[in-house]
Amino acid sequence: MLSSFGFAIVLMAQTLDQQVIATAGNYSEAGGISVSWTLGECVIATFGNDDIILTQGFQQPLMTLTGQLLYIPAGWSGISSWVDPTISLAEHIFDPVVGHLIILLNPFGQVYWPSQGINQIDPPPAEEPGWVPHHGYIVKMDQEALVLVEGTAESDLSVDLPSGWYTIPVLAQNVVSSSDLFGQLDPHLVIVKEIAGNRIWWPAMGVFSLTTVEPGKSYQVLLTATVALDFTAFNAPEPVGPANNELNEFVNNTPWNDVEFTGTSHTIAIDKDAWSELPGIGFGDYLGVFTQNGLCSGMIIYTGKREPLSITAFGDDFTTASTVEGFTGNEYMSFRLYRPSTQEEFTITATFDPSLPNTDLYLGNGLSRITHMSMMATAIGENGLNDVEIYPNPACESVMIKCIGNISADAILALYSMASGKLIREVRLENNLTELKIQDLAQGVYFIRITDGQEIIIKKLIKHSNTFNN
């Protein structure tokens, strides 16, 4: 099994003596005269007499070829190579495993997608031709694979990074300390995140779970200005140390589905003080982020320490049309806590920092920060309405009403005006998720009252004018 390789990078090199390498050619010898020829090269004549040898023509110089063996897991991941390939076509590099390659993306969003007959990475119209060592790549395989990149070791170990998001390679041949490497990017570094993983380096939030970067992988970085990342000082003969992969490999001891680690994600920092607001929180409790349809699309285990943490919400996989693996753009993100020791589940109400680009709506490469959290038991396995979520809120045209828990066929939604106290609309709820149209309402504040038997929950709704988002 390929999994026995783990995440090791296998290096190999060979030195070639001074002889011609070609796809076609011949050699003949007669009367003390030898003639050799190769396709595309001038004839080389060699004359010998006693101890004197005279050679006429072009001879190839001494060459050193290097190979890097990349281990690529099944599913999505980030890859790169410190080798400048002899043949730089992505199509050539992946030819031995092309039957298992779903898609390959370069930092500019150009793709090599064999099943669709699309190759934008190899020229034309690629911005740079083929496989480039200064690029990191995002890849999806339908099973784990080994890919050999053959060529010469890349001599230019400085990568020019643009402002904004970019997929960076690892041009070091050993594991590198994140603090040493990313210190070059200050003060322009916002965040570095693992592709299809939970580990990040986010200095402003105090989250440093991405302790090392590994050869053969790639990472996504967000910068506020153009800056160079130089790997020259990090080709030491000894590796720095093992990476912290536990964040991606923990056992799911919850009633929730396993998370699909896709190629797109939204990163959410959680302040250390927010954990203190959750009664009874302790090591081994799980925090999950959920889609509107109840799919868990991100999960972490609480460390037991009052420290900043982060949770990664993964987006839907665009290469699969028939299934949904994660969030779509602008979808509301809700949170739950599960406590294995008591088998209790809690609904988490999160307060977000409005100064960050995003709050509780999913966006690819989105960044959010939770400053406060509160919890309410959901009573897994019991009947009854436990809570109601409304999103988006404020809203202009429509809102989604999500009932948490079990509701009966008698559940009623009533909409009231806060200004007058009058009942405006009443709707029978047929399932836990209901869309409520509000485009005809005047701008203002309203109350939504959900009644199901003896259970009554009231929530506030803010209606903006219909030009609010224009």
* Domain identity same for 279 and 176: no
* Domain identity same for 348 and 399: no
* Domain identity same for 371 and 259: yes
pLDDT at 145: 95
Residue at which a domain ends, from 350, 377, 404: 377
Residue at which a domain ends, from 185, 200, 234: 234
pLDDT at 379: 52
* Domain identity same for 397 and 420: yes
Which residues fall within 8 angstroms of residue 354, CB to CB, at 6 or more apart? none
Domain assignment present for residue 136? The answer is: no
* CA atoms of 85 and 218, how far apart (whole Å): 17
User: What is the value of pTM for the model shown?
Assistant: 0.71
Residue at which a domain ends, from 361, 377, 393: 377
* Domain identity same for 193 and 258: no
pLDDT at 28: 57
pLDDT at 35: 52
Domain assignment present for residue 470? The answer is: no
Indicate the number of domains in the chain: 4
For residue 180, give its domain range. Answer: 158-234
Which residues fall within 8 angstroms of residue 57, CB to CB, at 6 or more apart? 42, 43, 44, 45
Domain assignment present for residue 103? The answer is: no
Domain assignment present for residue 93? The answer is: no
pLDDT at 17: 40
* Domain identity same for 336 and 444: no
Per DSSP bridges, beta strands 444-452 and 412-417 are antiparallel
Domain assignment present for residue 127? The answer is: no
Domain assignment present for residue 13? The answer is: no
pLDDT at 51: 56
> CB under 8 Å, gap of 24 or more: what pairs does 258-262 form?
259/296, 259/297, 259/298, 259/299, 259/314, 260/75, 260/297, 260/314, 260/317, 260/325, 260/326, 261/75, 261/76, 261/196, 261/197, 261/314, 262/76, 262/196, 262/314, 262/315, 262/316, 262/317, 262/325, 262/326
Tens-binned pLDDT, residue by residue, of the chain (470 aa): 554 443 334 444 443 444 444 445 555 555 455 555 555 444 444 545 555 555 555 555 545 567 899 999 999 999 999 999 999 999 999 999 999 999 999 999 999 999 999 999 997 766 667 999 999 999 999 999 999 999 999 999 999 999 999 999 999 999 999 999 999 999 999 999 999 999 999 999 999 999 999 999 999 999 999 999 999 998 765 555 555 565 666 789 998 999 999 999 999 999 999 999 999 999 999 999 999 888 999 999 998 888 999 999 999 999 998 888 999 998 999 999 999 998 889 999 999 999 998 999 999 999 999 999 999 876 544 556 777 888 888 888 999 898 887 788 889 999 988 777 788 999 998 888 889 999 999 998 888 989 888 777 888 888 887 654 43
**Under a CB-based contact definition with an 8 Å cutoff, are residues 283 and 230 in contact?**
no
Domain assignment present for residue 152? The answer is: no
* Domain identity same for 266 and 338: yes
* CA atoms of 49 and 53, how far apart (whole Å): 7
pLDDT at 465: 77
How many other C-beta atoms are found inside a 10 Å radius of the C-beta of residue 324? 14
Domain assignment present for residue 137? The answer is: no
